[in-house]
Every structure is written in C-alpha cells, then in structure tokens.
Amino acid sequence: MPPLYPLTSKEPPVNDHHQPAFALTIDFDAEELWLAESDANAARPGVLSQATYGVQFGVPALLELTADMGIPTTFFICGRDALRHPEAVEAISASGSEIGHHGLTHRSPDTLSRDEEERELTEALSILRRFSDDVVGYRSPSWDFSPHTLDLLESHQFEYSSNLMSAVHPFRHDSHALNELPVHWLLDDAPHFWFDSTSWDKTIRSTSEVLNIWAEEAEAIWDLGGTVTLTIHPQIIGRPSRVRMLRQFLQLVNDRGVPTLTAREAAARTVNGAGK
C-alpha cells in the first residue's frame, strides 16, 4: 500500500459535556475562483460577471441578513480578491465579521510547490491584515491540503484550519499546534446549487430540497453534541430565492437555541484539549 500523509483522521473520544454549536462560514470567491480554473477566463466578461454578482449583491445581502438575525460570520477571503474589492472587505470588517485566509489566488495548495504555497500564504496574510488584526484561520481554496499545509500554518502562527471532513466536533490536531473546525460537502451550498456550464450535466436543486438537507444534517449533528459548520458563497447563496432560504435556515438555528459562533470561537471548543 502507498504511504499516507500522517494526518489526524480519526475523531477523538468525545466527552459527554460537549455542547452543540453553529458556525456560519462564507468563502468570498470573486474573480480568483474563475482565474484559477483558466487564465483564459480573464478575457471572458460573461464568466467573470458571476463574481461581480457575488461582490455587488451577494456580500451586501449576507451582511444585511446576518446582522438582522444576530448571527456572527466568518469570511474566508482570497488575497487578490481583497485587492480587487477593498470596499467589500472594508464592509465585511466594519460589520464585525471575522476575516480568515482563503489563499492568495484560488489555486489549490496541492498544485503548488512548498515555496509557492508559503509565498501565497504570507502574501495574502499581509494583504488581509490591512483589514483585520486577527487573521488566524485558514480555509484552503477547495478544502484541499498539501503535505506542507499544516506545517506552514503552524509556522505562521495560525490558530485553526477549517478544511477536513473527518469529524463532527472541532478537534486539536495530534501532529500540530492547530485546532480543526470540520466541514462537509453536505453543509455547503456549492454541491447543491453549482451549475456546470461546460457540461450542463449538473442539476440545480430547489431551495426547499437544500433547506431540508441542511436541516436534517444539522439536527443530527446537534443531537451528537457536534458543531454545524455551514459553508456558503456570495455568488451562489446570494441569488434572491436562496437568500430567502438561508433566512429560514438561520431562523431554525436561532429557534434551536444553539450558540452561534465565529469559526475561530467554534474551532477553539475542541473535544480533545485546549486550543490556543
């Protein structure tokens, strides 16, 4: 068998006192998402107009909705998207939202050399710190890791990662001084709503179907004392009908009475030891 990267992959034992929680995480993908797919997209205004929608309509709609409902948010932002859209990032920062790291470009770390990955990490950090003093969380573009990612996060004093699918409770990595806030495709808007215009193979789900999927999974995770980490994208969830659906889901969260936390706060509630 091929050797595997030695990552914490098994959920540690959970103590009985662990309490359910909810964290709303927003991956702010603007033009960098499409530029990472193909350089040719730089000359495709139609493709890039999806990014424009996310910045102009999606972000303000999400800030208004979450403020109205009293739900804290964490925005993971690409460094170059922040450079292109400083007003949007200023508005996010002014709202009191946490700002986390989402790469410099939207290239996955597993496509980069170690040096390239570190350069992306540090360059984006210096950009994002213009908007927030506390950039301590990392979500990679596409949730993919390289074998160097955790080493680099630790050496640059990150507190937590939110990328792995190995658990339903936040945990402390065995191998690194980092907390992990687990995620899953099921609790992400993209797999349900993303339309693949190159193949037309992918069907767009109705909002009622996705609301039902999220609600069922959230209730089941909370019954285990786990943390629901919802991952959404302004250009996807920001469509008018989906903003209405998100309001319904957040109402369910509020009605359930679970603590609503930033990703940093949620990640620190590990089941296996103190966070930073």
Q: For the CB of residue 251, give the shortest distance to Zn ion in the complex, in Å.
A: 26
Per-residue burial over 47-71, b = 16 or more CB atoms within 10 Å of its CB, e = otherwise: bbebbebbbebbbebbbebbeeeeb
Judged by beta carbon, residue 76 or residue 171, the one nearer Zn ion is 76
In 10 A of CB 116, how many CB atoms? 15
Judged by beta carbon, residue 25 or residue 227, the one nearer Zn ion is 25
Q: For the CB of residue 234, give the shortest distance to Zn ion in the complex, in Å.
A: 11
List of residues contacting Zn ion (CB under 5 A): 27, 29, 141
Q: How far is CA 68 from CA 65, 95, 110, 230, 255, in A?
A: 5, 12, 39, 18, 15
CB 21 within 8 A of CB 258: yes
Residue 77 and residue 86: Cα distance in Å, rounded?
11
CB 159 within 8 A of CB 263: no
Judged by beta carbon, residue 27 or residue 180, the one nearer Zn ion is 27
Judged by beta carbon, residue 30 or residue 167, the one nearer Zn ion is 30
Residue 70 and residue 254: Cα distance in Å, rounded?
9
Judged by beta carbon, residue 89 or residue 268, the one nearer Zn ion is 89
Contacts of 64 (CB under 8 A, 6+ apart): none
Judged by beta carbon, residue 99 or residue 268, the one nearer Zn ion is 99
Q: For the CB of residue 19, give the shortest distance to Zn ion in the complex, in Å.
A: 29
Judged by beta carbon, residue 186 or residue 215, the one nearer Zn ion is 186
Q: For the CB of residue 222, give the shortest distance to Zn ion in the complex, in Å.
A: 26
Q: For the CB of residue 160, give the shortest distance to Zn ion in the complex, in Å.
A: 17
Judged by beta carbon, residue 30 or residue 211, the one nearer Zn ion is 30
Q: For the CB of residue 36, give the shortest distance to Zn ion in the complex, in Å.
A: 9
Q: For the CB of residue 274, give the shortest distance to Zn ion in the complex, in Å.
A: 30
CB 150 within 8 A of CB 173: yes
Residue 71 and residue 210: Cα distance in Å, rounded?
20
Q: For the CB of residue 239, give the shortest distance to Zn ion in the complex, in Å.
A: 17
Q: How many helices (H) and strands (E) does the chain have?
A: 12, 9
- DSSP 3-state assignment of 182? coil
CB 81 within 8 A of CB 99: no
